[in-house]
A and B are shown apart, each in its own frame.
Chain A
Amino acid sequence: MKRAAALSALLTLSLAAAQKTATIGWSGAITGPTSDAGASYAAGVEDYCRYAVSQNTLPGIKLNCVVRDDQYNNANTQRNFEDYVGNMNASAFLGYSTGGTLQLKSTIQEVKVPTLPGSYHIGNVDGADSQYIFLPISSYSEQLVSLVEYVAKKDRGAKIALVVNPSPFGRAPVDDVRKAAQRLGVQIVDVQEVGGNNLDNTALLKRFESAGVKYVLNQNTAGPVANILKDAKRLNLLGKMQFMGAHYTGGEDLTRLAGDAANNFIWATSYYMFDEADKPGIQLVKKIGAANNRKPDTIRSVHYTSGMLAASIAIEAIRRSKDPSAAGVYKGITSMTGSRAFNPGFTVGPVTFSAKDHIGAESLRLLQADSTGNFKAITGAQRSAIFPLVHPLK
């Protein structure tokens, strides 16, 4: 037994001398709830890793990306995390769900493995135990507060309703939106939770109508939002109410599901759109997608780009520190500040992190779907002015 252990230790040592290994593990919903986004996200992570290997981005380091399905089940996420960190000695963890990331917070703090979640929940990087968690782009809260700012500028005193997913993911920004609305002089008249399986939204929309709601903010996945939009179209409410939403509500998925009911939907996100073909990041997405024979639907999905962003940040961090350990990744990530900001070209602004700044590409744009369902920018890259006041990060 002892001899075997010594032998294996020797083997590992000699291997390590030859080539260092960097393991990056992703755990998310390839199947199960929210898998429409998760499957593309996973593909993005996987394909970017392949690209980095083919480009020899990390000379002398063997890059090992592991992508596993947790079916949106937190228990599976934890097992995967334990396996990555405990057995595979992972240098970085790429997460996905809000619940899974929140549950892992104290463990992440304990093992000091930098984590980039797919969930842009502000609570991931707020308060205790968040030293090693980094959001790739701005939080849901900031996205929605930006939308509230947009409404307030256009229509002071407007009545807004908030529709959120019945989960930590959906509820995350409610308080911040309320506070922002109060500061900006608009009213949040109703907050309702609507999940998948919303077969009929007549009652919801009619109540909004009778309450005089003119703007409906959504924090949800595309499926439920599409059903709300389709019902709003049927009830002739699309002209009376402006529907808007945060990162996971919009994009290709929404257009595909809601058809022309998605027209005019306003969407807040930090990513470039697929049809912005002149952007180098989008060109890269197309190139990598084609090289891996992905379906056109997958490549067009913004979640494919999101997966790439998360993987690219982790890989860039290792490249910078030349150290494939968790400490090296942390050093690499926190070096992405000022002139050393990282700009892979997927987002409208550069990715900046430091020991204090745990939000990567803070800049975001508001986009509106045109009559063909393509999202076109209606603002430039911007940051919410009021958000730091509404939710100061400790």
Chain B
Amino acid sequence: MNLDLLPQLLLAGVVIGSIYALAALGFVLIYKSSRVINFAHGQVIATGAFIAFALTQSGMNFWLAGLLAMLATFALGMLIERVFLRRMVGEPIISVIMVTIGLASVVDGLLHLTPYGAGNFSFTTPAALSGAGIDLLGTQLSRVQLAGVLAALALLGGFTYFFNRSTMGITMRAVADDQMAAMSVGTSVERVFALAWAFAGLTAAAAGVILGLMSGLTLTGLAGIGLKVFPVVILGGLDSVLGAIVGGILIGVLENLAAGYLDGLVPGGGTRDVFPFIVLLIVLLLRPYGLFGTKEIERV
């Protein structure tokens, strides 16, 4: 084992992990308020990223394009909730899961109607981010990565604050806690659901744009992040924003440690792709509600 690598692996893990956390945040927002597991989250991430890319292609400033993409997926999230998910309230879990799986396919199809359904694309790095990066702990971070981490942490911090302090955030928590009780004191559960999906859309676009800037845009790659969030949210706890942050960073770090120390031992390597899911299974067996989730498992 080469311990010199350790700080570098940890740092790279934190960088990628904070993006996972941002991707997982939207997932958790939806689950927390409406108890829906959203299999279409990866497709929303991809949609956001490609909207931003299309706008920059038409000559728009990168930052403005990113902002508009976030607004667009904000609306998309609301739309999905209103048209599809609201009808599913009270249906069995398998139906709700399958609706989101179906939606993932539908969005996939719609993206294939754009020129971005197939192929690799990459953002032109904006001037402010294209300069030299910084050296930290013997490894180099590019400005893109730094900006990505900062943006992710800012959004995560903002949402934590929102949930703990703002009236709307507290309302959302109330609904998550007990829908019936929240309704009886006059809360609009519908509005909470709609907002949760909208915020999930917004954070998804942010995650998509950051990912696109860091590693290029492909539909399969971006949509694949929708699967990577499962280990994150299970480890962190399905209904905990703090869990998404900690889980994301932990999975990012574990992934990198696997790549750094296990790849050499396994012929062909590539352990980073499977390690998070092994962690997922272990967590499910030992502590299904995750590190910070609400304990609600019943056994039979």
A-to-B contact residues, CB < 8 Å = 30-33, 35-36, 38-39, 166, 190-200, 202-204, 206-207, 210, 222-223, 226-227, 230, 234-236, 253, 256-257, 259
10 closest A-B pairs by beta carbon, nearest first, are A203-B259, A202-B12, A35-B118, A36-B119, A192-B269, A203-B260, A197-B221, A193-B270, A31-B118, A234-B142
Are B214 and A192 closer than 8 Å at their CB atoms? no
CB distance from B46 to the nearest CB of A (A): 12
The CA of A38 and the CA of B118, in the complex, are separated in Å by 9
Chain B residues engaging chain A, CB cutoff 8 angstroms: 2, 4-5, 8-9, 12, 15-16, 19, 112, 117-122, 125, 133, 139-142, 145, 211, 214-216, 218, 220-221, 224, 256, 259-260, 263-264, 267-270, 272-273
In contact, B256 and A35 (Cβ under 8 angstroms): no
Q: How far is the CB of B265 from chain A (nearest CB, A)?
A: 12
Q: Is the CB of B139 within 8 A of A206?
A: yes
Query: In whole angstroms, how far apart are the Cα atoms of A301 and B117 in the complex?
Result: 18
CB distance from B291 to the nearest CB of A (A): 23
Name the A residues within 8 Å of B118 (CB-CB): 30-32, 35-36, 38-39
Looking at the complex, which one of A190, A198, A226 makes contact with B120 (CB distance below 8 Å)? Answer: A226
Shortest distance from the beta carbon of A41 to any chain B beta carbon, whole Å: 12
CB-CB under 8 A from A200, the residues of chain B are 12, 15-16, 214-215, 256
A193-B268, A207-B5, A257-B216 given; name 6 further pairs at CB < 8 Å: A36-B218, A202-B8, A202-B256, A203-B256, A206-B139, A234-B140
B16 contacts A235, CB within 8 Å?
no
A207 touches B264 (CB 8 A): yes
CB pair A227 B260 closer than 8 Å:
no
When distances are taken between beta carbons in the complex, the residues of chain B under 8 Å from A36 are 118-120, 218
Contact for A203 among B19, B141, B142, B272, CB less than 8 A: B272
Q: Which A residue sits closest to B124, measured CB to CB?
A: A259
Q: Across the interface, do A223 and B218 meet the contact criterion of CB distance under 8 Å?
A: yes
Contact of B140 among A210, A223, A226, A235 (CB under 8 A): A235
Residues of B within 8 A of A197 (CB): 218, 220-221, 224
* Distance between A254 CB and nearest chain B CB, rounded to angstroms: 10
12 interchain pairs, CB-CB under 8 A: A39-B118, A191-B269, A192-B270, A195-B270, A199-B211, A200-B214, A203-B256, A203-B263, A203-B272, A210-B4, A234-B142, A256-B120
